[in-house]
Amino acid sequence: MAFIELIDVHKSFGDNKVLRGINLSIEKGESLVILGKSGIGKSVTLLVLTRLLPLDRGKVIINGIDTTDLPEDKLIPIRKKISYVFQSGALFDSLTVYENIAFPMIGEGYDEDEIDKRVFDIMDLLNISEFWDLYPDEISGGVKKIVSIGRALAANPDCILYDEPTTGIDPYAAKKLSEVIRRINIDMGITTILVTHDMRCAKIVADKIAFLHEGVIYFHGSFGEFVESDLPVLEEFKGSLPYMAKYLKGG
Ligand SMILES: Nc1ncnc2c1ncn2[C@@H]1O[C@H](COP(=O)(O)OP(=O)(O)OP(=O)(O)O)[C@@H](O)[C@H]1O
Ligand SMILES: [Mg+2]
């Protein structure tokens, strides 16, 4: 059974028909990377998936539960199992790295020792323990992104959604971050859905690529199949990307 299933999902804003019949199925533990041109609806797809945005038509099924018509209070426990790493990272500036990561655990019935152990386990896993008592404006952009992933992990999710996690950090930090995301996916079995324009990130993270075009999933396959595909729309997209030439030559 698929873990997350989008069936014929439609979403418009006024006359702007953004999603026009998205069909997508994600298995438990799978890592799916969503690609597509800017403004095509990648972020909207993540938002309707978590039902942070209502959909116009279609179904969103999560772990066998049809969430389409669920009231807000019934959505809350489902959303708790799906952490969202926003592009900005959105850390709390007045909290330390430790406190930012601990934040989702507060009020969830953990005692102080449990919180402490879990926060340090997560910081160890992500190699950021040395920064535990620093504030967001004292750490680099790359480390901030990793802390925001740590905070997502602290919520003990089954699935993490990442919207352009490597945007705004240097290529070396972006590669490291992509490796962290993949490690979390494989070692912890966390289902991963990631939106990016960064092909190096896509190559490291993806089991499958879903390419969004004109409101539908135009292509669904492995990264290798994506690179090999000669569909004209994909050729045009790939031609516009930095780093892609290297991969087309198999580098
Ligand atoms: N809340 C909203 N109200 C109105 N229109 C919206 C809203 N959110 C998104 N849109 C529109 O939906 C379309 C898809 O937006 P979306 O943010 O999903 O694009 P994207 O593929 O994530 O682009 P990018 O790669 O630039 O982040 C755009 O035309 C955008 O203007
Ligand atoms: Mg977006």
Which CATH number is 244's domain given?
Answer: 3.40.50.300
Distance 218 CA to ligand 2 centre (A): 18
Domain count, the chain: 1
Residue 122 forms part of a structural domain: no
Q: Is the pLDDT of residue 169 over 90?
A: no
Q: Ligand 2 (ion): which residues have CB within 5 A?
A: 43
What does the mean pLDDT of the chain come to? 92
Distance 249 CA to ligand 1 centre (A): 33
Strand spans (E) along 143-243: 159-163, 191-195, 208-213, 216-221
Residue 117 forms part of a structural domain: no
Strand partners, 213: 216
Q: Give me the mean pLDDT over the 54-78 stretch.
A: 92
d(CA 89, CA 168): 11
Distance 196 CA to ligand 2 centre (A): 8
Identify the H or E element spanning 145. Answer: helix 141-154
Residue 131 forms part of a structural domain: no
Distance 182 CA to ligand 2 centre (A): 21
User: 100-116 pLDDT, tens per residue?
Assistant: 999 999 988 899 999 99
Q: Give me the mean pLDDT over the 82-99 stretch.
A: 88
pLDDT of residue 39: 95
- Choosing from 13, 47, 86 the residue with most ligand 1 atoms within 8 A of its CB, the one to mutate for a pocket test is 13
Other residues' Cβ atoms within 10 Å of the Cβ of residue 130 = 10
Task: Ligand 1, residue 212: give the atom nearest the CA.
Answer: 21
Q: Is the pLDDT of residue 72 over 50?
A: yes
What's the pLDDT band for 142 if we cut at 50, 70, 90?
confident
Which one has a higher pLDDT value, 193 or 76? 193
Residue 14 forms part of a structural domain: yes
pLDDT of residue 168: 83
Q: Is the pLDDT of residue 249 over 80?
A: no
pLDDT of residue 243: 67
Predicted model pTM: 0.93
Give phi and psi for 141, each to the nearest 5. Answer: -60, -40
Ligand 1 near 18 CB (within 6 A)? yes
Q: Which ligand is nearest to the CA of 20?
A: 1
What's the pLDDT band for 245 if we cut at 50, 70, 90?
low
Q: 25 is in which domain, residue-wise? A: 1-81+193-251
CB 177 within 8 A of CB 162: no
Residue 41 forms part of a structural domain: yes
